[in-house]
Amino acid sequence: MIKNLGEINSVFNQFVAELRDAEMQNDRMRFRRNLERLGEIFAYEISKTFEYQTVEITTPLGVADMKLMIDQPVLATILRAGLPLHQGMLNYFDKADNAFITAYRKYDKNEAFDIRVEYISSPDITNKTLIISDPMLATGASIVKTVRGMLVNGLPKHIHIVAALASIEGLDFIQRNLSLHNISIWVGGIDDELTAQAYIVPGLGDAGDLAFGKKSDLN
């Protein structure tokens, strides 16, 4: 199940447009804040799918019946690019447990690469709602390896995958390689192409570099 929020006319698309804009990308703080804004909107939309129960809240003048979430989700992100998007969701799911994954592209001398997942810090996710965020869903390989790695910590009742932008190829790869029925994918836009280096076109560039600074060529 794929939910493309970019198909809906809303202020959400303003934030995506600014993320894509090469001139506006010179402002790192605004770039990070726009990713954070997307995370907040994704969190709001995803919250509509949760289970709720009626809770009595005592006010200064009486008692109000309010429908509140039964459980908080577990928020997971792939370092480092996913941090602003993750923070946006944490702004809304402020009682959530958190998980962090180190995944990166390991290039060889021919510029081919493999996805390496070296470390996962996660709570028990058994029967929890798991939300995994990564700004760019390019080939889909990072998400597939992340989901498989996270399942060591339990079987969640539902997995939400969140990306600012995705490629058609990456979405197809996830659907072919993750056979779990309980997965939803939330994106801010879907682009048609990948470059030879597996960057999304038109995309927005390297989200990690734009948010936090260019990496050394030795990395």
- Per residue in 187-205, pLDDT tens? 999 999 998 788 899 999 9
Per-residue pLDDT tens over the stretch 7-28: 999 999 999 999 999 999 999 9
**Above 60 in pLDDT, residue 142?**
yes
The total number of residues shown for the chain amounts to 219
At 3, give phi and psi (nearest 5°).
Answer: -110, 115
> Could you tell me the strand order of the sheet in which 136-137 lies?
136-137, 165-167, 190-191
Q: What would the two tokens of residue 188 be? A: 């801010």
CA dist., res. 109 & res. 143, Å (int): 24
pTM metric for this prediction: 0.91
User: What is the three-class DSSP state of 71?
Assistant: coil
Domains of the chain, start order: 2-49+71-212 (3.40.50.2020)
User: Which of 66, 129, 58 shows the shortest CA–CA distance to 93?
Assistant: 129
User: Which position has the token pair 């072919």?
Assistant: 176
Q: Over the Cα atoms of the chain, what is R_g?
A: 18
Residue 135: asked if its preceding bond is cis (omega within 30°), the reply is: no
pLDDT confidence of residue 72: 94
pLDDT confidence of residue 167: 96
Per-residue pLDDT tens over the stretch 46-55: 999 999 999 9
Label residue 103 by pLDDT band (50, 70, 90): confident
Average predicted confidence (pLDDT) for the chain = 91
**Above 70 in pLDDT, residue 110?**
no
More confident residue, 37 or 120: 37
Question: 87: Cβ–Cβ under 8 A, 6 or more apart, which residues?
Answer: 36, 39
How far CA 136 is from CA of 20, 38, 78, 96, 207, in Å, comes to 12, 13, 11, 23, 7
**Beta strands 193-194 and 183-187: pairing type?**
unpaired
